[in-house]
Amino acid sequence: MEDFERQLRDALARKEQPPLFEAKVFAAIAESKSKRWVSWRWEALAASLLALAGFWAQHEHAVRDRVAGEAAKARLQLALKITVTELSKIQRTVRTTEE
Amino acid sequence: MIAIKTILVAWIALAPLGAQEIKIPASLDRLAAKASEVVDVTLDANLLQLASRFLSDKDPDDVQVKKLIGGLKGIYVRSFEFEKPGEYQDSDVEPVRAQLHTPAWSRIVGVRSQKSGENAEVYVKTGNGKIGGLAILVTDPKELTIVSIEGSIDPDQLNELGGHFGIPKVDTRKEAGHGKDE
C-alpha cells in the first residue's frame, strides 16, 4: 500500500520542464500553422484554376452553340426563301395559265 | 392470333410508306462542279430544333416560322444555276423523280413551259388526312432546284411567309407579257 502511495505521489508531483521546452512547443505550433497555410493556398489556387477552366469550357460551349444555332437559322431562312419563291413562281404560272 | 397477324401484315405494308423520304442522290453533287451557283441546304431534325431555339418567341415572324417548322423532320434543298444550257441531263434528276412516283406521293401541280423550257412539279406526301411531306422539282435549261420537306406541313403557312423572316414578298399576280404555258 505504501509502495502504491509513493508511486501515486511521484506521478502527481510537479516536475520542472526541461529547458527551452516552451520555445520548442511554440516553434512546433508555428511550423504546423505555416505548413497548413501553404497547403491551403495551393488548394485554393487549384480550386480557382479548376473553376476558371470550367467557366471557360462553359463559355466556349455557349459560343459554339450560338454560332451553330445562328448558322442553322440562316440556312433555314435560305431554305424557306427558296421554297417560297419556287412555290410562288409555280403558283403565278398556274394562275397565268388559268387566265 | 389472327388479330396479331393482321396488325403485323398491316405494319409491314405501311412501314415503307412511313419511312419513305426523298433521298437526294449523290450524283447531283457532281453537278456542283459545273454550276455557277450552288445552294446546298441540309437541315435534319436536330438542326431544325437547334435553329428553332434561336427563333424569338416575341418576334411575330420568328413565331410564325417556329410554328411552321414545329412538325418538320427535315428540309433539304439543292439548287444549281448554270452558265449555259445542257450542263445536266434528265438522268441526273430521274432518281429523285422515281422516288416521287410512288403511292405515298401525289403530284399536285405540274407546269411545263414550252417557251422557256421550264418544268415545275409539286408533290405532297399524304397520310392520315395530313400532308406529311412536300417536294418541289424545278428544272430549267440553266437551273435545277430540288426541295424536299419532311414532316407535317401546311402549304398555306409557307405561303404566308412571303414578306417575313427575310423572305421577299412574291407577287403572285399575272405578269405582263408572260409566255404561253401549258
Q: Give the model confidence (pLDDT) of A44-58 as tens digits.
A: 999 999 999 999 999
**Number of C-beta neighbours around residue A20 at 10 A:** 9
Contact criterion met (CB < 8 Å) for A72 and B47: yes
Residue B178's pLDDT is what? 37
Residue among B109, B138, B166 whose CB faces A77 most closely: B166
Burial of B9 from C-beta contacts in 10 A (0-12 / 13-18 / 19+): exposed
The C-alpha atoms of residue A74 and residue A67 are separated, in whole angstroms, by 11
The C-alpha atoms of residue B134 and residue B124 are separated, in whole angstroms, by 5
A25-39, B14-28, B71-85: range with lowest mean pLDDT: B14-28
Residue A28's pLDDT is what? 87
Average confidence score pLDDT of chain B: 81
Residue B20's pLDDT is what? 47
Residue A1's pLDDT is what? 64
Residue B170's pLDDT is what? 59
Partners of B181 on chain A (C-beta within 8 Å) are 93, 96-97
Residue A3's pLDDT is what? 84
Residue B2 φ/ψ, nearest 5 degrees: -65, -40
What the block records as the C-alpha cell of B154 is: 401546311
- What is the distance of C-alpha B83 from the center of its chain? 24
pTM: 0.71
Chain A nearest-CA distance from B40, in A, is 9
Chain A residue at shortest CA distance from B120? A90
Residue among B50, B155, B166 whose CB faces A69 most closely: B50
Chain A nearest-CA distance from B156, in A, is 10
Contact criterion met (CB < 8 Å) for B145 and A68: no
In which band, very low, low, confident or very high, does the pLDDT at A68 lie, cut at 50, 70 and 90? very high
Residue B7's pLDDT is what? 43
pLDDT at B50 over 80: yes
In which band, very low, low, confident or very high, does the pLDDT at B158 lie, cut at 50, 70 and 90? confident
Number of CB pairs, chain A paired with chain B, less than 8 A apart: 118
Chain A nearest-CA distance from B13, in A, is 32
Chain B nearest-CA distance from A54, in A, is 24
Residue B182's pLDDT is what? 36
Residue B81 φ/ψ, nearest 5 degrees: -120, 135
What the block records as the C-alpha cell of B156 is: 398555306
The C-alpha atoms of residue B74 and residue B125 are separated, in whole angstroms, by 14
Partners of B79 on chain A (C-beta within 8 Å) are 82
In which band, very low, low, confident or very high, does the pLDDT at A72 lie, cut at 50, 70 and 90? very high
- What is the CA angle B13-B18-B19, rounded to 5? 100
Residue among A73, A82, A93 whose CB faces B39 most closely: A82
Average confidence score pLDDT of chain A: 87
pLDDT at B162 over 70: yes
Pick among A67, A70, A93, A95 to test the B interface (most B CBs inside 10 A): A93
Per-residue model confidence as pLDDT tens digits over B101-117:
998 899 999 998 888 88
Residue B161's pLDDT is what? 79
* Composition of chain A by helix, strand, coil, percent to 5: 90, 0, 10
Residue A45 φ/ψ, nearest 5 degrees: -65, -45
Residue B46's pLDDT is what? 93
- Contacts for B120 with CB less than 8 Å, ≥ 6 apart: A86, A89, A90, A93, B109, B110, B111, B112, B136, B137, B138, B139
Contact criterion met (CB < 8 Å) for A92 and B173: yes
Chain B residue at shortest CA distance from A99? B174
What are A's interface residues with B at a Cβ cutoff of 8 A? 66, 68-70, 72-73, 75-97, 99
The arrangement of strands across the sheet holding B119-127 comes to B37-44, B72-81, B143-151, B130-140, B119-127, B105-112
pLDDT at B87 over 80: yes
Residue B16's pLDDT is what? 41
* Percent of residues, chain B, with pLDDT higher than 70: 81
pLDDT at B4 over 60: no
Asked casually if ipTM beats, i.e. exceeds, 0.85, the reply is no
